[in-house]
């Protein structure tokens, strides 16, 4: 019984925090500045506070509320924080332009894919979110997607790439390639450029993204008659400490082309080990590989000759990319943005363009915005950081050119 004294204290703390959030939630725009203040305080000016000020200054419509969920803590927080960083820049830019103002809020879903994801989403709903620009990971997106269908809230995910996400409902759109498509494009590209290659595939069988691409790749490769010598070199999130066995398997099977459909974190490990044992096939990666050149302490010469299909290149010299990269570095302690950040940035702009075209503002109810946005996205064409002339099909999947690059002297050079 005595333990309850302490528990009671904890409970009181929880309740007071709870009440604090609830109360400020009613005041509309205030929690925004509060909530982001602590996080982005060290990142310079907060775009949110600007938007709030300008929105309150005039008597016009309140700011449009866009929410996002992603892993902001834990082992995959890297990706969630990148998306959030990209989105914040877009919001900052849009609000500086005047006109339609955006209020942005990100919630942590711990990449959990069930209760935590849904409760992050519910928190945003209580905040008054009109448009949902998440989630970052496939698992969380799948859990939230059905909720958005129910609530009729428009959802444009920056990076959840499983085909099942967009298929959940007509109000769900994707900014990234879907996994099976990406796998198939990779197979087509290989058939075209390296028809003779002996191919090995290493993938993460505990991850939906990785196994989705591997699956798409393998079925397309079978169709195209590619020579796949190793197709079952899988690992899981629990045993990825050792990837040497999988690399050795590919080496022993005589593979001169190794397909790595996973994130750069593990890819850096594969490249390092392959180099140590003097194994030099052509490595072929996907969009998750983007960022490998910017891993702190990574010897970029190991990635020499690496082929990857990425929609974004942080070293590109066009004006939009340069400005984005500069701002991102400013806001994030000099970190170079990867494809996740660029997807996040494009998501906000796509939503902004569609909202302006449809006349959606802070007063439009979420359900109405959802209908209007669906109509807009049927015909919308967007030029963004991750592609030119991007359009969406009736399922909500994106059509953009898969750009393949090869790493030469530490930078991306278009393939071919």
Partner 1 sequence: MKQLLKNKNSRTNMITYLVVIVAYLIMQTLNSMDMLGSSVRGYLVPLCVYISLAVSLNLLVGICGELSLGHAGFMGIGAFSGIVIASLLKGTVQSDTLRLIAAMIAGGAMAGVMGFLIGIPVLRLRGDYLAIVTLAFGEIMKNIVGNTYVGVDDTGFHFAISPTKMRLGEGGKYFINGPLGATGVEKLANFTMGFLLVMVTLFVVLNLINSKEGRAIRAVRDNRIAAESVGINVTAFRMKAFVVSAFLAGMAGALFGLNYSAITATKFNFNTSINILVFVVLGGMGNILGSVISATVLYILPEAMRGLEDFRMILYAVVLILVMLFTWSPKFKEATAVFTGKIKGIFRPGKEAGNNE
Partner 2 sequence: MQVLQYLINGISIGAVYAIIALGYTMVYGIAKMLNFAHGDVIMVGAYISFCVTNYLGLPAIVSVIAAMGVCTILGIIIEKLAYKPLRGTSSLAVLITAIGVSYFLQNAAQLIWSSSPKNFTSIVTMDPIALFDGRLIITGEVLVTVLISALVMVGLTLFTGKTKTGKAMRAVSEDRDAAQLMGINVNQTISTTFAIGSALAAIAGVLLCSTVPTLMPTTGSMPGIRAFTAAVLGGIGSIPGAMLGGILLGIIETLSKAYLSTQFSDAIVFSVLIIILLVKPAGLLGKQVQEKV
- Shortest Å distance, C-beta 299 to partner 1: 31
- Shortest Å distance, C-beta 276 to partner 2: 5
Q: Which residue from 64, 213, 218, 314 is in contact with partner 1, where contact means CB under 8 A?
A: 218
- Cα–Cα distance, 272 to 151 (Å, whole number): 47
Is there binding between residue 207 and partner 1 (CB under 8 A)? yes
- The residue among 71 and 183 lying less far from partner 2, judged by its C-beta, is 71
Structure tokens at 28: 């509309």
Number of other residues whose CB lies within 10 A of the CB of residue 122 = 15
- Cα–Cα distance, 358 to 337 (Å, whole number): 31
- The residue among 77 and 315 lying less far from partner 2, judged by its C-beta, is 77
Q: Which residue from 122, 335, 356, 411 is in contact with partner 2, where contact means CB under 8 A?
A: 335
Angle (CA) 148 153 156, round 5°: 85
- The residue among 271 and 355 lying less far from partner 2, judged by its C-beta, is 271
- Cα–Cα distance, 225 to 145 (Å, whole number): 36
Segment near partner 2 (CB under 8 A); pick from 170-178, 248-256, 352-360, 374-382: 248-256
Task: Determine phi and psi for 111, rounding to 5 degrees.
Answer: 50, 40
Q: Which residue from 250, 268, 341, 397 is in contact with partner 2, where contact means CB under 8 A?
A: 268
Positions 72 through 111 that interact with partner 1 (CB under 8 A): 72-74, 107-108
- Cα–Cα distance, 89 to 260 (Å, whole number): 31
Segment near partner 1 (CB under 8 A); pick from 60-68, 119-127, 252-260, 290-298: 119-127
β-sheet bridge partners, residue 70? 108
Q: What mask of x and - would describe binding to partner 2 in positions 12 to 51, judged by CB under 8 A?
A: ----------------------------------------
Is there binding between residue 209 and partner 2 (CB under 8 A)? no
Segment near partner 1 (CB under 8 A); pick from 233-241, 362-370, 383-391, 401-409: 233-241
Q: Which residue from 68, 118, 136, 355 is in contact with partner 1, where contact means CB under 8 A?
A: 118
Cα–Cα separations (whole angstroms), residue 52 to 28, 34, 49, 81, 96: 10, 11, 5, 23, 12
Q: Which residue from 62, 74, 147, 353 is in contact with partner 2, where contact means CB under 8 A?
A: 74
Q: Which residue from 30, 33, 54, 119 is in contact with partner 1, where contact means CB under 8 A?
A: 119
The long-range contacts involving 367-376, CB below 8 angstroms and separated by at least 24 positions, are: 367/151, 367/152, 367/153, 369/130, 369/131, 369/154, 370/152, 370/153, 370/154, 370/171, 371/152, 373/131, 373/154, 373/171, 374/154, 374/170, 374/171
Is there binding between residue 353 and partner 1 (CB under 8 A)? no
Binding partner at 108 among partner 1, partner 2, none, C-beta below 5 to 8 Å by kind: partner 1
What are the DSSP calls for 230-276, one per residue?
EEEEEE-TTTTT--HHHHHHHHHTT-SEEEE-S-HHHHHHHHHHHHH
What are the DSSP calls for 350-370, one per residue?
HHHHHHHHHT--TTS-HHHHH
Is there binding between residue 2 and partner 1 (CB under 8 A)? yes
β-sheet bridge partners, residue 384? 387
Q: In what order do the strands lie in the sheet with 227-235?
A: 227-235, 198-204, 257-260, 282-285, 307-309, 404-408, 411-414
Is there binding between residue 413 and partner 1 (CB under 8 A)? no
Binding partner at 321 among partner 1, partner 2, none, C-beta below 5 to 8 Å by kind: none
Is there binding between residue 78 and partner 2 (CB under 8 A)? yes
Residue with tokens 């750069």: 264
- Cα–Cα distance, 307 to 412 (Å, whole number): 9
Q: Which residues contact partner 1 (rule: CB under 8 A)?
A: 1-7, 9-11, 13-15, 17-18, 20-22, 25, 31, 34-36, 38-39, 72-74, 107-108, 112-115, 118-120, 122-123, 125-126, 138-139, 142-143, 145-147, 162, 164, 168, 204-208, 210-212, 214-215, 218-219, 231-232, 236-238
Q: Which residues contact partner 2 (rule: CB under 8 A)?
A: 73-75, 77-78, 81, 205, 232-242, 244-246, 248-249, 252, 264-266, 268-269, 272, 276-278, 295-299, 333, 335
């Amino acid at each position: 019984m005595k333990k309850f004294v302490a528990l009671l204290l904890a409970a009181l703390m929880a309740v007071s925090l709870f009440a604090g959030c609830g109360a400020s939630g009613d005041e509309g725009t205030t929690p925004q500045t509060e909530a982001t203040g602590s996080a982005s305080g060290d990142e310079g000016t907060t775009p949110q506070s600007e938007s709030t000020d300008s929105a309150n200054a005039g008597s016009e419509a309140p700011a449009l509320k866009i929410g996002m969920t992603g892993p902001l803590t834990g082992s995959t927080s890297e990706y969630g924080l990148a998306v959030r960083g990209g989105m914040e820049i877009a919001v900052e830019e849009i609000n500086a332009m005047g006109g339609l103002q955006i209020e942005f809020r990100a919630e942590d879903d711990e990449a959990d894919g069930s209760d935590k994801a849904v409760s992050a989403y519910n928190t945003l709903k209580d905040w008054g979110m009109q448009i949902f620009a998440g989630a970052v990971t496939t698992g969380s997106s799948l859990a939230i997607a059905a909720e958005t269908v129910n609530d009729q809230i428009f959802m444009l995910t920056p990076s959840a790439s499983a085909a099942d996400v967009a298929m959940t409902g007509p109000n769900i759109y994707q900014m990234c390639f879907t996994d099976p498509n990406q796998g198939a494009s990779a197979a087509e590209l290989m058939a075209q450029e390296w028809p003779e290659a002996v191919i090995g595939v290493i993938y993460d069988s505990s991850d939906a993204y990785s196994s989705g691409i591997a699956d798409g790749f393998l079925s397309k490769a079978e169709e195209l008659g590619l020579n796949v010598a190793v197709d079952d070199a899988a690992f899981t999130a629990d045993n990825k400490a050792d990837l040497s066995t999988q690399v050795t398997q590919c080496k022993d099977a005589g593979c001169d082309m190794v397909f790595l459909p996973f994130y750069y974190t593990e890819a850096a490990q594969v490249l390092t080990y392959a180099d140590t044992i003097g194994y030099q096939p052509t490595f072929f990666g996907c969009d998750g590989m983007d960022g490998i050149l910017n891993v702190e302490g990574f010897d970029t010469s190991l990635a020499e000759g690496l082929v990857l299909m990425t929609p974004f290149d942080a070293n590109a010299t066009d004006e939009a990319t340069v400005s984005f990269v500069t701002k991102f570095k400013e806001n994030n302690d000099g970190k170079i943005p990867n494809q996740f950040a660029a997807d996040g940035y494009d998501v906000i702009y796509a939503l902004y363009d569609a909202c302006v075209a449809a006349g959606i503002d802070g007063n439009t109810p979420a359900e109405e915005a959802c209908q209007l946005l669906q109509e807009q996205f049927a015909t919308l064409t967007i030029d963004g950081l991750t592609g030119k002339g991007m359009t969406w099909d009736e399922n909500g999947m994106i059509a953009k050119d898969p750009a393949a690059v090869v790493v030469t002297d530490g930078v991306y050079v278009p393939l071919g």
